[in-house]
Amino acid sequence: MSTISRRSPASYLLAAPAALWMTGAVVVPTLLIAWVSLWGGRAFSPDSPLTIANYARFFGNQTYLKLILDTVQQSLLLMAISGVLGYAIAYFLVVMVKRPMVRLAIFFALVIPFWTSAIIRSIAWIPFLGVNGVINRTLMFLGLTSAPIDAFLYSRTGITMAQVSLYTLLMTGPVVYTLSNIPVQLREAATCLKAPPLAVFRRITLPLTLPGIVIGQVLIFLNVMSDFATVAAIGGNKLALLGNLVLNFYEAGNIRYASVVAVLLMVCMLAGVAIALKVVDVRRLGE
Amino acid sequence: MPDIDLELRRITKRYGSFLAVDNLSLDIARGTFTCLLGPSGCGKTTTLRCIAGLEQIDSGDILIGGRSIADAPPWQRDIAMMFQDFALFPHMTVARQVGFGLEMLKQPRAEVARRVAAMLKTFEIDHLAGRKPATLSGGQRQRAALARALITEPRILLLDEPIGSLDFSLREMVMFELKAVQRRLGISFVWVTHDQTEAFSLGDLVVVMNRARIEQVGSPADILERPRSAFVAGFIQGNNVFRGTVTAAQDGMVRIATGVGEFLVPVLNGSTPPTGGAVSFSVRAERITDQPGAEHANRLSVRCGAVEFFGAVRRYFMHQADSQILKVDQFGAQAARLREGDQATIGWRAADGVLHHGDGGSP
Amino acid sequence: MRWTTRAALMKWTLGSVAVGFLIYQWLPMVTLGVLSFSGPDGGTTFPMNGVSLYWYAELWEPSLSADFKAPLLRSFLLALACSATTAVMAVAAAQAVRGEFRGNGVFFYLILLGIMAPGLLVGFGVAIVARLLGIALSWSTTTFLVHVTWTLPFGFLTMLAVFNRFDRRLEEAALTLGATRVIAFRRITLPIILPGVIGAALFGFSLSYDEFARSLFTTGADLTLPLTVLGQFDRQLTPSLYAVGTLTTLFSLTVILLFGGVMWLTRGRARRPA
């Protein structure tokens, strides 16, 4: 017994606003993008004839194709760097830090920046990356380089550096969660069954954190795929990924092309999620 | 010393300023069923974990089969361990689980399969080979865990409250199964428990621990009949513990003045405590009678309190004026059928008192 | 090497990685804060050329940079509206899920879609819908609509967690005492989950306040604060942008600390029957 009874009319009524809101503002609009991407003609009109010409023209352009590849590549790079880094941090936090207060402090220090503006955090990298930036000055001060390196600002390196600081948390979070659900005794039992530390990690810890790893990787993938702000802030106008392309086409008034890119972005993302779900069968996670 | 499986030599373990194991020494002969018994926080589990290598001792030495292993990592010690919740790997089938130890020892695949199959058969869980732990019952899990632990044929099996998580109805059966396995294999078991019934029905050797130290080591009969200290006597069910001072000594007996009267207690091993010294002694509840005769030299008049029934035994809780409670066990036929509030005189033979000599000055 | 030494070495290595990453993550933000106090001749990186509040004063009397005051007010009002909407709808949605209505599994994923779907696409989609329907884009209508799709899932998850810890017997007690469901909810359930509701509201506030990917396509002419920052950044980067960044970061930190404090308070409260 509770303040709401099972399958009561009230439960449907209470669910309705949220359901309608999400359908109206998320599901329908994204479906409409797909529709608009098939519009022929030039006018913004629902009566436009449907065609795949927009796609044909898009795929006919080498530059755009390379952009898709670049975006996917950048996502994979971040998945690798932030994946390893995020996992290592989570492992340290859960398995190696014994004092709860220290663990909590580190966890907060990790999580709090997530709650501040991503734009500001991207901009905050500018003083570091420029020719006269902090990194170059430090390198020169340490004598590691004689002349400033012009490889950070307006470059993939700089973008990657900023993205690592933005997105590593997305890996750490889910892994911390799955890792802290593994009883310590499982690792100890394996140790007593003649397994050295590396074998304990490979045979026990890693398989049991797989769900967290996959969730973390999916989150990083989705965020980097659709990231345009970091790319714009640090890459200037010299570099663009798919997200920036949507924006650029939209601002140029080419809503059909913007839709085409948006659809491709969605397809890539759905494919990524589908592959992830293949790796870890969600229904078997409970076992 | 080929016949000693395990030797603990003055081992000490600290957590910060907390002393978990204090200068503890113990020898365990080959094939012994040893029970570490004590209240929670007494250091018994820490001792077990030190033997396994899951905790590092701060000083002392641990020898298995005469070889020092204090510096060896857990995976190179000739032990296996069973955990309270069995710690079965949730992502592995029973067969995989049981073969894990052999895989870690790099045994050939065929050999692993053969020995796993044999092990599963021994424990009658061969029909569960393909199942994952989540689908097993408590008893099945316990067998899988045991098979997993024993497959590497360790010299010593360490068990941390291994039946604590089982249903009450299952416990007795599992207990005797484990005992039978231990007898058949002839390996040493070190079993940690806070339950004295377990310790007394299973152990060849019972080690009573308190506050990071060993209070008494002995056979179950030793500990039941001759508790060394007031702590052991108080911890073991059915003892009445008295504290007092020695007023006189004669003929292998001492007279002890307590808050409820003076009693005669035999001196056990010759070392008579000095007159005026503080001592404690205990008398088992079943040795006290509510119909004392001439032979019952120690007497006491009491008021009957609550009465409890344990099968054929009825236990009276007797009160004295200063509300000290005495437990008195009587068998059905001979009981005087006292009721709550009745006045009675109880007594026991002088020879039934057990003088404690292991208190070491502590209260 | 002894195995304990190896284990300790491993711990130190991973510890260095973790602490190193923390520094890596915080250093730019701290630097931003330091540089915002540059002298009037200071540039966008070191040296600071003196220490002053010049760039903060610049925010009040905009000459070089855009005026941040009106966008700040808009972002604040928008965040407030999102926070209230999120709190109410999240409680309703979580309470509905407790009712285990048919299709509540799909409902759960429908709401989570708001987190999974990239903001850029949702914003773009809503802009198309608005154009098809002939609705003018505005921070108070279309942007609000999209922001809630982002804040609601977080509030919803918060409320699910709160209800998970909620002691059902308290409601049952009220109901057996003759209270109607509505009264029991208002008098018993709501006061107990209130800290969680406040938490969901703060969650909504802070997420909406910093959101820009969803605002980009949906805001029209009157920009929100993050969009103004982006715009100014596109035109010219000055330390006054650092000053805005520092202030808004401090503001976000305050909100999140408030959130943390409130959630801390709920920990015992939901469980302990008084």
What would the pLDDT profile of B145-187 be if each residue is shown by its tens digit? 999 999 999 999 999 998 887 888 888 888 888 999 999 999 9
Q: Is A246 in CB contact (< 8 Å) with chain C?
A: yes
Closest to B38 in 3D by CA, of B168, B238, B198: B198
Distance from CA of A19 to the nearest CA of C (A): 7
Let me know whether C192 and C71 are in one domain: yes
Q: What letter would DSSP give residue B272? A: P
**Structural domain boundaries, residue C142:** 65-269
Position with higher pLDDT, A136 vs B305: B305
Q: What letter would DSSP give residue A50? A: B
- In this complex, do A192 and B152 lie within 8 Å of one another by their Cβ atoms? no
Of the pLDDT bands very low, low, confident and very high (cuts 50, 70, 90), residue A156 is confident
pLDDT in tens, B269-308: 767 888 888 899 999 988 888 888 888 889 888 888 888 8
Position with higher pLDDT, A80 vs C225: A80
Strand pairing category for B59-64 and B67-68: antiparallel
Let me know whether C44 and C127 are in one domain: no
* pLDDT (average), residues C54-77: 78
Let me know whether C134 and C222 are in one domain: yes
Q: Considering only residues 4 to 33 of chain C, which have any Cβ-Cβ distance to chain B shorter than 8 Å?
A: 4
Amino acid code (one letter) for B107: Q
Boundary (domain end) residue, out of C35, C57, C79? C57
Answer whether residue A185 shows pLDDT above 90. yes
Counting the structural domains of chain C, the total is: 2
The residue of chain C nearest to residue A137, with distances taken between CA atoms, is C46
Answer whether residue C165 shows pLDDT above 60. yes
Q: Nearest by CB to A125, from C28, C119, C226: name it.
A: C28
Interatomic CA distance for residues A259 and C112, integer angstroms: 23
Helices (H), C99-140: 104-116, 119-133
Position with higher pLDDT, C61 vs A191: A191
Let me know whether C255 and C153 are in one domain: yes
- In this complex, do C237 and A123 lie within 8 Å of one another by their Cβ atoms? yes
In a domain, C198, yes or no: yes
Position with higher pLDDT, B325 vs C65: B325
* pLDDT (average), residues B193-211: 93
> Testing the interface with B: which of A186, A193, A280, A284 to mutate, by most B Cβ within 10 A?
A193
Distance from CA of A79 to the nearest CA of C (A): 16
In a domain, C274, yes or no: no
Q: Residues of chain C with pLDDT > 70: what percent?
A: 93
The residue of chain C nearest to residue B71, with distances taken between CA atoms, is C2
Let me know whether C141 and C214 are in one domain: yes
Superfamily designation of domain B4-225: P-loop containing nucleotide triphosphate hydrolases (3.40.50.300)
For the ranges A109-118, B294-303, C139-148, the one whose mean pLDDT is highest: C139-148
Boundary (domain end) residue, out of C57, C80, C98? C57
Q: Is A208 in CB contact (< 8 Å) with chain B?
A: yes
Check: CB of residue C123 under 8 Å from CB of residue C146: yes
pLDDT of residue B128: 93
pLDDT of residue B363: 38
Mean pLDDT estimate for chain C: 84
Let me know whether C94 and C171 are in one domain: yes
* pLDDT (average), residues A7-34: 90
Which chain C residues touch A7 with a CB distance below 8 Å?
Answer: 99-102
Answer whether residue B28 shows pLDDT above 80. yes
> Testing the interface with C: which of A8, A23, A117 to mutate, by most C Cβ within 10 A?
A117
* pLDDT (average), residues A10-20: 90
* pLDDT (average), residues B121-136: 92
Q: Is A76 buried (19+), middle (13-18) or exposed (0-12) by CB count in 10 A?
A: middle
Q: Retrieve residue A83's tokens.
A: 């994946």
Q: Residues of chain A with pLDDT > 70: what percent?
A: 96
pLDDT in tens, B295-345: 888 988 888 888 888 777 888 888 876 666 778 887 766 555 778 888 888
Work out the angle at residue A198's Cα, subtended by the Cα atoms of residues A197 and A203, and round it to the nearest 5 degrees. Answer: 100
Q: Nearest by CB to A29, from C44, C126, C213: name it.
A: C126
Q: Is C63 in CB contact (< 8 Å) with chain B?
A: no
Q: Residues of chain C with pLDDT > 90: what percent?
A: 23
Of the pLDDT bands very low, low, confident and very high (cuts 50, 70, 90), residue C202 is confident
Q: Is A47 in CB contact (< 8 Å) with chain B?
A: no
CATH code for the domain of C130: 1.10.3720.10
Of the pLDDT bands very low, low, confident and very high (cuts 50, 70, 90), residue A146 is confident
Q: Is A285 in CB contact (< 8 Å) with chain B?
A: no
Answer whether residue A187 shows pLDDT above 80. yes
Domain boundaries, chain A: 22-284
* pLDDT (average), residues A132-152: 75
The residue of chain C nearest to residue B75, with distances taken between CA atoms, is C3
* pLDDT (average), residues B249-253: 85
* pLDDT (average), residues A146-169: 83
pLDDT of residue A248: 86
pLDDT of residue C170: 82
Could you tell me how many residues make up chain B? 363
pLDDT in tens, C174-192: 888 877 888 888 888 888 8
- In this complex, do A183 and B87 lie within 8 Å of one another by their Cβ atoms? yes
Other CB atoms closer than 10 Å to residue B332's CB: what's the count? 11
ipTM above 0.90, yes or no: no
Interatomic CA distance for residues C179 and A3, integer angstroms: 10
Let me know whether C80 and C49 are in one domain: no
Domain boundaries, chain B: 4-225, 230-355
pLDDT of residue C271: 47
In a domain, C96, yes or no: yes
* pLDDT (average), residues A136-161: 78
Q: Which CA distances in Å does C151 have to B288, C40, C86?
A: 74, 39, 6
Q: Is B177 buried (19+), middle (13-18) or exposed (0-12) by CB count in 10 A?
A: middle
> Which of A15-29, A113-127, C75-89, C107-121 is predicted least confidently?
A113-127
In a domain, C197, yes or no: yes
pLDDT in tens, A208-255: 999 899 989 999 998 899 888 888 888 877 777 888 888 888 888 888
Answer whether residue C49 shows pLDDT above 80. no
* pLDDT (average), residues A248-277: 87
Answer whether residue C246 shows pLDDT above 80. yes
For the ranges A88-102, A129-143, B338-352, C29-43, the one whose mean pLDDT is highest: A88-102
B67-76 long-range contacts, CB within 8 A, separation 24+: B71/C2, B73/A191, B73/A196, B73/C3, B73/C4, B74/A188, B74/A191, B74/A192, B75/A191, B75/A192, B75/A193, B75/A194, B75/A195, B75/A196, B75/B104, B76/A194
Answer whether residue C273 shows pLDDT above 50. no
Answer whether residue A182 shows pLDDT above 60. yes
Q: Is A255 in CB contact (< 8 Å) with chain C?
A: yes
pLDDT in tens, B219-238: 999 999 899 999 999 999 88
Interatomic CA distance for residues B199 and B206, integer angstroms: 7
- In this complex, do A193 and B91 lie within 8 Å of one another by their Cβ atoms? no
pLDDT of residue C62: 64
Chains touching B (at least 3 CB pairs under 8 A) are: A, C
Mean pLDDT estimate for chain A: 86
Work out the angle at residue B16's Cα, subtended by the Cα atoms of residues B15 and B18, and round it to the nearest 5 degrees. Answer: 65
pLDDT of residue A283: 43
Distance from CA of A62 to the nearest CA of C (A): 24
Of the pLDDT bands very low, low, confident and very high (cuts 50, 70, 90), residue B361 is very low
Interatomic CA distance for residues B95 and B126, integer angstroms: 8
Is the domain spanning B230-355 CATH 1.20.1090.10? The answer is no
pLDDT in tens, B74-127: 999 999 999 988 999 999 999 999 999 999 999 999 999 999 999 999 999 999
pLDDT of residue B133: 93
Which chain C residues touch B56 with a CB distance below 8 Å?
Answer: 4
Let me know whether C23 and C114 are in one domain: no
The residue of chain B nearest to residue A194, with distances taken between CA atoms, is B75
Could you tell me how many residues make up chain C? 274
pLDDT of residue A1: 61
Only one residue has tokens 């003055």, namely: B10
For the ranges A244-248, B207-211, C64-68, the one whose mean pLDDT is highest: B207-211
Other CB atoms closer than 10 Å to residue C101's CB: what's the count? 20
pLDDT of residue A11: 87
- Entry pTM: 0.86
pLDDT in tens, A41-60: 777 878 888 888 888 888 88
pLDDT in tens, B51-60: 999 999 999 9
> Which of A128-132, B312-316, C68-72 is predicted least confidently?
A128-132
In a domain, C253, yes or no: yes
Q: Is A189 in CB contact (< 8 Å) with chain B?
A: yes
Check: CB of residue C95 under 8 Å from CB of residue C196: no
> Which of A141-155, B261-275, C125-139, C142-156 is predicted least confidently?
A141-155
* pLDDT (average), residues A119-128: 84
pLDDT of residue B1: 45
Answer whether residue A64 shows pLDDT above 90. no
Q: DSSP states of B132-177 as a string?
A: -GGGS-HHHHHHHHHHHHHTT--SEEEEESTTTTS-HHHHHHHHHH
Superfamily designation of domain A22-284: MetI-like (1.10.3720.10)
Let me know whether C99 and C15 are in one domain: no
Distance from CA of C178 to the nearest CA of B (A): 39
Of the pLDDT bands very low, low, confident and very high (cuts 50, 70, 90), residue A8 is confident
